[in-house]
Structure 1
Amino acid sequence: MKSNSLRIQFLTRLVIVLLVIIMISSLVQLYFIKSQITENVNNKASVISQSIELGMDETNLASQSIEHQIDLRLGNYGNLIAEKLNNQSSSEISNQELINIKKELGISGITLFAKKGNDIVGVKSTEHSEIGFSFKKIGYNDGFKALDSLYKNKRLPSEATYSAKNMFALPISQSGSQSNPRYYKYAYLIKPGRDYIINPYIEANEIYHFTKEVGPETWIDKIKEKNTFIKEIGVLNPSVFENPKLETKLFPPIKKVVYGEYSYKDKRDKQLLAEIIKNKPIDKHYINSYDGDKVYKLFLPAKDGNVVYVALDYKMLSGPLYRHSIILIVTGLVSLMALFLLTARFFNVVYGRISAIKIQIGQLEKGDLTAKSTFNDKSELGDLSESVNEMASYFNKTVSATREQAAKTQQLSLLLEAEASQSVTKMYEISTEATLKSRDQHGEIVEFLNKLIEFIQTQPQYSDATAIIKQIEEMKKVANDRTSATTDFTITLSDLLQSLYLQSSELSNIANIMLESMRKFKL
């Protein structure tokens, strides 16, 4: 169980480490991919807006040049009309006369404005709708003031695209006398001594045609054709977004969308454009979904006060980078999986060899000194296996030699025990016999010496009987000591042989125990 848990523990930790690596690398990669996508989209949107702004600058320059030519032409038309009308008063001039001059000059129309009470109104015109027209009536007081300035020879309006003595021309503007919105180029001229203002005008088709052919609209179409990820491009007037009423004014003509399109509308746009007008440092782009489409919207202020608006298909722009990121992540996953398989395989090989060595050690633990692990490995595991095999061989030899010595010891101890047993028995017999014989002899000698003492005591001729008796007593004592010594010697020798027998028996038991222990080993 421990070995299996070790393998599971190792593989589990390896999987956890690999998963952590995958998660961290994926998050880091997604973070940088997202940053790269944002930077890439911003760069593309900025390049597009700059291209549109450049096109606007070039077109405006060309348009202004054409418009200036038209302004000069309108001034000439005004002078020609004044010449053809001679010094007639406004009441003497007929509408038909103006129509004839219009046809002759090839212009869109002529209107004569004259004072009427405290107003200046159209009194004669090639167009019936222009008669009775008044800037005051339509609520455009700046128009009235501009005409009144001509009468009074005062400063002309600053909005004029061209001005000369007693004459000015305005930018293209919507007609205020027609129900359908139509745009014209107007000029206003007064000759000294005349009671009316001559107003020749032409349709702005020429400038619109030029703008359509080479202006921002054409640039926008070309850019959209080349870049399919562009949803729409527009040039917006932030002032109109801030004040929608400006779009209803006749002059100067103002529209929310100056060029291009603006269909992906959002409440945030108005606030964002208002902040741009105030030159506040804000994030001029955001991402939003419209009908399931994720759109990246960017607003960049232009030099002329307008704002270039670009809407990009965020999914189309980010798709390749996300696909590239997914490919990298999948490649990383495959690499990590390959690393996991290689590591797991390597660990299984190492684990198998460690298990073989462990099994060998387990067999050695059980007494099998013949156990060996055999595998070809030049690594540290191979060295360990060889060392364990050598240790097993050394133990085998040592235990075999010990077993042989134990067997010899057992044999010798058995022989010694048998000999000791026989010697004890024989020695017991001898000592018993010697003791009895010694005691008999000691009794006889003591009895003889006692009789000799009695005899000497009864014989008066022995003058030194006392000394003789004393010597005899000493002889008795010597005989007694020798008998005791013989007895003690035989007893001591018997005890010694008995001890030798017991020790040989104990040695035999020890040898038997050793042999029994040795039998547990497999040699």
Structure 2
Amino acid sequence: MNRPEQAKPKIHLRSSLFILMISVIIVLLTDSVFYYYTKRMLTAELQTKLELIADNVAISIKHSKLGEKYVENLIGQNLRTAALAAQYRLDPDIEKVTNEELISISKELMIDHMTLLKRSGDDIIGYKSTEPKEINMSTKTWSRDWFKAFNQLLDTTETNVSSGQALPHYWSGPINTSMSDPQYVDKWGYYYDGRTNYILDPYVHDTFIQNYQRETGVNAVINEMINGYTNHGTAEIAVFNPPIFLKQQEQFKKEGYTWFSDREILFGTYTMKDSRDLEMVQEVIRSKKTQQLITTIQGKTLLKMFIPLQLDMPVVIGLTADYEQVQQSIGKQQLRLLLLIGTTGLIAFFLVIVSIRFMNRRRELAAEHVQEVYVDHIDSLFRSMKEQRHDFNNHVATIQSLVHLKEYAELNRYTAEITEETTALNDIIQINVPALSAIVQSKVIQAVERRITFEHEVANLKQIHLGAVKATDLVRILSNLIDNAFDAVAPQKYVERKVRLVGFVKGNSLIFQVYNNGERIPYERLESIFEPGFSTKDEGTQHAGLGLSIIKNLVHQYGGKIHVHSSMNETCFTISIPL
């Protein structure tokens, strides 16, 4: 019989493009998620790094402030000693002291300058001095605690002001810009014990303090963090003086010089400026929480963080870091990810195409196999019909002879047997799977040939739809079960040999049961009958030891179950396969 050629399934271009489009969308989504997650992670890492640097700066400021205060107090004590030494050398009457004497004593005591202050009406002025600008200089307008401290000294009361260093008959003002010569930042000492009619004021420039700060102070630590051997990732560090920076307090300026205590930046430098810095510092002071912004300055992308710190007063540490390193790192990782995803996507796309071709080929082979099974069993059915037709003439001749001989009893028995065989062969099973119909009909013919009564009962199987692969495997399962049943009843000689097939759909499962009245399977062998090679039949038998093992593997492959029950009257194999 000629078999029609099967049209090979094709992979449609539209389906492939759809898969490719979905893959591209997944890649883009993955890349976007990775970008934002990585950016957030690296930014958080940089923020943590800057916070650690801020902590180091804060610790350095506190330690340096303590050190600077200690050094400043030592200078104040030395100035008091210098004032006492000068008092013993000078006349107690200020009118009898000359400026030249003050210059000579200052050199001997190794101080930069000395001024003598006295009351003049409601003011206190510089009356004699080594610095001409100090002569006749009023102190009444000096800011903060200075003028108050001078009056307390001249009144010989205990000096009690919020700033500076107070000792017996002595007060030393904090380091600040010189009122008479603003180009200098000086340290002053003021001594008065009532034995003179003037306050002795020896003072030195801040050179020593500046050297100390440059070598071990806060600016030294900041410079090391920015320019040292270890790259801390910071481009600039500034410690803001909030009242001045926020314009909440007016700076004191003279001759173009800003007072040392009124400088906007207490430590570090502030060259990388952004218009939002003022807002950030203000928010830090208000909320006492860290603020940050990303900005572009001179073509560079920078991350700026503003962190609160409490010293003698609240201050804000501003740290500026190069954010381009983060972006470059993100770019490199994103490129690697795109290459990885792209390569993986291409491999996956290739595997999908190969898998589709493989599945198409498998379906094609399964369809061909089902067709072969169907055609083979139809051929067997036609061959049987031809044999019946061939035998028909012999049957007619025999019937004619029996009629002629008037052997009506024998004629009745003979025709009944012929009718029984014909009915069995004409009982066509109605199943919506041609291969199953063919295999059942084939087994009907085999049963007739082997003198076995084969019954089949099927219900609600017309509407089932099985794939080609599943139908092929189901044919193998039923063929092996029925063959196994035929072999089980074959040894019986004096009892009618019966095999019965029952098929039906229950719930979402397709169920088949094969009964036979062969010899009972011993209970201890029920667990072993599905093992490969196990058989109760003679070796060399066509199905010895393999049929039940094949059935079990196929049933489990589809998530089904197989069960066997054997008694003295019959043995039943039940299989259940999900649809």
TM-score above 0.5, yes or no: yes
Q: What CA distance in whole angstroms lies between the structure 2 residues aligned with 1:273 and 1:155?
A: 40
Among 205, 208, 212, the alignment partner of 2:207 is: 205
Distance 1:140 1:247 in 2: 9
* 2:301 equivalent to 1:297: no
TM-score when normalising by structure 2: 0.60
Mapped contact 1:229–1:316 kept (Cα < 8 A): no
Tell me if the contact between 2:185 and 2:260 (Cα under 8 Å) persists in the aligned partners: no
Which has the higher mean CA deviation after the structures are superposed, 301-310 or 196-205? 301-310
**Would you say 1:340 and 2:349 are equivalent positions?**
yes
Quote the Cα distance in structure 2 between the aligned partners of 1:45 and 1:389: 77
Q: 2:36 aligns with which of 31, 37, 59?
A: 31
Deviations 1:194-224 (A, max 9, x none): 2211110011111110110111211112111
Query: Could you tell me which residue of structure 2 aligns to residue 71 of structure 1?
Result: 76
Match of 1:387 in 2: 370
**Which secondary structure state, in structure 2, belongs to the residue aligned with residue 15 of structure 1?**
helix
Greater CA drift, 245-254 or 76-85: 245-254
Q: Is the 8 A contact 1:159 1:170 kept in 2?
A: no
1:259 to 253, 267, 277: 267
TM-score in terms of structure 1 length: 0.66
Aligned equivalents of 2:159, 2:262: Cα separation in 1: 21
Aligned to 1:111: 115
1:277 aligns with 2:260: no
Report what 1:456 is aligned to: none
- Tell me, yes or no, if the aligned pair for 1:175 and 1:182 is still in contact at 8 Å: yes
Matched ranges for 1:8-47 at <5 A: 8-47=13-52
Kept after mapping to 2: 8 A contact 1:107/1:201: yes
Q: 2:105 aligns with which of 101, 104, 107?
A: 101
Alignment of 1:345-364 (within 5 A): 345-352=354-361, 354=363, 357=364
Among 320, 331, 335, the alignment partner of 2:329 is 320
The CA deviation string for residues 425-473 of structure 1, in whole angstroms up to 9 with x for no partner, is xxxxxxxxxxxxxxxxxxxxxxxxxxxxxxxxxxxxxxxxxxxxxxxxx
Match of 2:62 in 1: 57
Q: 1:46 to 1:228 in 2, by over 3 A?
A: closer
What do you get for the CA RMSD once the two structures are aligned? 2.9
Larger Rg: 1
Q: Higher strand share goes to which structure?
A: 2
Is it true that 1:170 corresponds to 2:185 in the alignment?
no
Residues 439-454 of structure 1 mapped to structure 2, 5 A cutoff: none
- How many residues of Structure 1 are paired with residues of Structure 2 in the alignment? 378
Q: Distance in 2 between matches of 1:257 and 1:10?
A: 67
Q: Is the Cα–Cα contact under 8 Å of residues 251 and 259 in structure 2 kept in the other structure?
A: no
List per-residue Cα deviations over 1:21-59 (Å, max 9, x = no partner).
Answer: 223322322232122022101101101111111111221
Give the AA of the match of 2:25. V
Question: Aligned match of 1:236 in 231, 236, 240?
Answer: 240
Identify unmatched segments of 5+ residues in structure 2: 1-6, 393-579
Partner of 1:128: 132
- Cα distance per residue 1:164-215 (max 9 Å; x no partner): 122111111111111x521110111112142211110011111110110111
Distance change >3 Å, CA 143–CA 128, structure 1 → 2:
same
Letter paired with 1:330: L
The 8 Å contact of residues 240 and 247 in structure 1, kept in 2 or not, is answered as no
Residue 393 of structure 1 deviates from its aligned partner by 4.1
Structure with the higher fraction of residues in helix conformation = 1
Quote the offset at 1:155 in angstroms. 5.2
8 Å contact kept, 1:95–1:125: yes
2:161 is equivalent to residue 158 of structure 1: yes
| One-letter identity of the residue aligned with 2:293 | Y
Q: CA offsets, 1:80-118, max 9 Å, x none? A: 11111142x111100000001001001000001111222
Q: Is the 8 A contact 2:124 2:138 kept in 1?
A: yes
2:419 corresponds in structure 1 to none
The aligned residue for residue 483 of structure 1 is none
DSSP 3-state at the match of 1:267: coil
* Aligned equivalent of 2:408: none
Between 1:246-255 and 1:343-352, the stretch displaced more is 246-255
Aligned to 1:286: 293
The question of whether the paired residues in 1 share the 8 Å contact of 2:115 and 2:134 is answered with: yes
CA distance in 2, matches of 1:132, 1:8: 101
CA drift of 1:324 comes to 2.3
Whether the aligned pair in 2 keeps the contact of 1:233 and 1:262 (CA below 8 Å) is yes
* Change in 2 beyond 3 A, CA 1:182/1:334: same
Q: Distance in 2 between matches of 1:286 and 1:339?
A: 42
Q: Identity of paired residues, percent?
A: 22
Q: Which amino acid aligns with 1:229?
A: G
Pick which of 397-406 and 335-344 moved more. Answer: 397-406
Letter in 1 for 2:115: T
Distance 2:144 2:309 in 1: 30
CA spacing shift, 1:293–1:4, aligned 2, 3 Å: farther
What one-letter code is carried by the residue in structure 1 that aligns with 2:29?
I
The answer to whether the 8 A contact 1:235-1:258 is kept is yes
Going from structure 1 to structure 2, the CA distance change for 1:264 and 1:157 (only over 3 Å counts) comes to farther
Aligned-pair distance for 1:318?
Answer: 3.9
**Aligned residue identity for 1:33:** T
Give the Cα–Cα distance (whole angstroms) in 1 for the partners of residues 276 and 160 of structure 2: 36
In the TM superposition, 1:488-499 aligns within 5 A as none
Q: For 2:43 and 2:266, how far apart are their aligned partners in 1?
A: 28
CA contact (8 A) 1:299 1:309 kept: yes
For residue 263 of structure 2, give the secondary structure of its aligned residue in structure 1: coil
Partner of 1:147: 150
Q: CA deviation at 1:314?
A: 0.5
Equivalents in 1 of 2:40, 2:52: separation in Å? 18
Query: 1:420 is matched with which residue?
Result: none
2:224 is paired with a residue whose SS is helix
Letter in 2 for 1:69: L
Give 1:58's aligned amino acid. Answer: H
CA contact 1:33–1:322 (8 Å) conserved in 2 = no
CA contact (8 A) 1:229 1:317 kept: no
CA deviation after TM superposition for structure 1 residue 267, in Å: 2.6
Indicate if the aligned counterparts of 2:43 and 2:326 stay in contact, CA closer than 8 A: no
Report the residue type matching 2:199 in the other structure: I
SS of the residue corresponding to residue 270 of structure 2 reads: coil
- Asked if 1 retains the 8 angstrom alpha-carbon contact of 2:31 and 2:337, the reply is no
Q: Structure 1 residues 283, 46: CA separation in 2 closer, same or farther (over 3 Å shift)? A: closer
Cα distance in 1 between the residues matched to 2:106 and 2:179: 20
Q: State the SS of the aligned residue for 1:194.
A: coil
Greater Cα shift, 140-149 or 219-228: 140-149
Letter in 1 for 2:281: L
